Amino acid sequence: MTAGLLGTESALQDAFDVALVDLDGVAYKGPHAIPSAPPALEAARAAGMGVMFVTNNASREPETVAAHLSELGIPCAPTEVMTAAQAGAELLAEHVPAGERVLVVGGAGLYTAVAAKGYEIVEDATEHPVAVIQGFSPDLGWRQLAEATYAINAGARFFATNLDLTIPNERGIAPGNGSLVGVVRTATGVTPLAAGKPEPAMLRMAARKAGAARPLMIGDRLDTDLKGARAADIPGLMVLTGVNTARDALLAVPGERPAFIGADLSTLADVHPAPRLAEHWWHVGDARARVTEGRLLVDGGDTLDRVRAACAAAWDAADNGHKFDVETLPHFG
């Protein structure tokens, strides 16, 4: 798959058979649905597109996630949810035999997923666990992190559901599981094996579970959602409703670049034109962009097409060793 933007001849919801949809920053922020998400996903389903929700949040069980989405106006069955807790338990099972003692540091979703794999769950390092698995929970405190540290320093293997440094909520950006894992990593000097995005296994598992032949990953974060899509060789749609901005997309490295960019989930109903190069300008619709004399120039068209053209020009320049002034990058509002 090319490291640049792709195009479609039909709407995304017709070109791909299953959407792998991230939650935080894509379907909702904090307790509230992103306004465009419920009608957009309803329209995508009506067009025949399947939906699988894929989240690096390991604190909740699939049933809880499905119930929350349904309350927000996004009907969802538990079988349509893949959590990092489930992926983490799968990773654990690849390295630790069932029946062993495992110290779980996280929420109910992680406890359930690990128990389902046949492990004896402990909460204290004095019980000599052979492994520690850590996932996000807003209720984690010093004691749990300390128990993890004691166990790992005593020889337990270290696993993490995911390494997101931050999570978006209704108040802004908050520390994510990666930040909490960093506390234990700093205290032990041990880097965990991680299961969630951007590792490709989780997305491949979700695609298989959904029976997808042509999956599309949808996310707001370059370093997890879109990097994971690239790693799994699944086209990724970046929506601008969460953590990363259009400016971030301009500076994305090849392994984190989206294949498509849209304002929000309503873009599933859109045809996405492919950027084309003509007379030194990258064109998307009526917008165009180029890098010249160390500056990125953009004009014409609507905001999204300007973003897409700008990405095409910026990525082409970066890949060919042409530098441009980051401080003068355009703002897209």
Q: Tens of pLDDT along 99-116?
A: 999 999 999 999 999 999
Indicate the pLDDT class of residue 167, thresholds 50, 70 and 90: confident
Question: CB-based burial of residue 308 (10 Å sphere; 0-12 exposed, 13-18 middle, 19+ buried)?
Answer: buried
Bigger pLDDT: 154 or 60? 154
With both helix axes pointing from N to C terminus, report the angle between 108-116 and 84-95 in degrees, rounded to the nearest 10: 40
The answer to whether residues 234 and 40 touch, using CB atoms and an 8 Å cutoff, is: no
For 30-62, write each residue's pLDDT tens digit: 789 999 999 999 999 999 999 999 998 888 889
What residues are annotated to the active site? 22, 24
Asked whether residue 241 carries a pLDDT value surpassing 90, the answer given is yes
Question: What does the pLDDT read at residue 31?
Answer: 85
CA distance 234 to 253: 17
Strands (E) in 40-80, as ranges, are 50-55
The answer to whether residues 196 and 164 touch, using CB atoms and an 8 Å cutoff, is: yes
Q: Say which DSSP state 274 is in.
A: P
CA 262-15-284 angle, 5° bins: 45
Question: What does the pLDDT read at residue 170?
Answer: 77
For 272-313, write each residue's pLDDT tens digit: 999 999 999 999 999 999 999 999 999 999 999 999 999 999
Which whole number is the average pLDDT over 229-253?
96
| 3-class SS shares of the chain: helix, strand, coil, % to 5 | 40, 25, 40
Query: CA-based Rg of the chain, rounded to a whole angstrom?
Result: 21
The per-residue pLDDT of the chain, averaged, comes to: 94
Q: Which two tokens stand for residue 35?
A: 């306004």
CA distance 186 to 149: 9
- Beta-carbon contacts of 211 under 8 Å, excluding residues fewer than 6 positions away, are 18, 50
Strand partners of residue 104? 133
Asked whether the bond before 198 is cis by omega within 30 degrees of 0, the reply is: yes
The answer to whether residues 226 and 236 touch, using CB atoms and an 8 Å cutoff, is: yes
CA distance 121 to 70: 31
Which whole number is the average pLDDT over 109-125?
95
Q: Give SS3 for 145.
A: helix
Question: What does the pLDDT read at residue 232?
Answer: 96
For 242-259, write each residue's pLDDT tens digit: 989 999 999 999 999 999
Asked whether residue 325 carries a pLDDT value surpassing 90, the answer given is no
Which whole number is the average pLDDT over 126-144?
96
Asked whether residue 10 carries a pLDDT value surpassing 70, the answer given is yes
Indicate the helix (H) or strand (E) that contains 104: strand 101-105
Which whole number is the average pLDDT over 218-239?
96
The answer to whether residues 244 and 238 touch, using CB atoms and an 8 Å cutoff, is: yes
CA distance 227 to 45: 26
Asked whether residue 228 carries a pLDDT value surpassing 80, the answer given is yes
Indicate the pLDDT class of residue 12, thresholds 50, 70 and 90: very high
**For the stretch 21-41, what's the b/e string if a residue is b when 16 or more beta carbons lie within 10 angstroms of its beta carbon?**
bbbbbbbbbeeebbebbbebb
Question: What does the pLDDT read at residue 1?
Answer: 64
Q: Which two tokens stand for residue 286?
A: 């009526």
Which whole number is the average pLDDT over 118-143?
96
Strand partners of residue 271? 11
Question: What does the pLDDT read at residue 166?
Answer: 86
Question: What does the pLDDT read at residue 44?
Answer: 98
Q: Give SS3 for 52.
A: strand
Question: What does the pLDDT read at residue 110?
Answer: 95
Question: What does the pLDDT read at residue 333?
Answer: 60
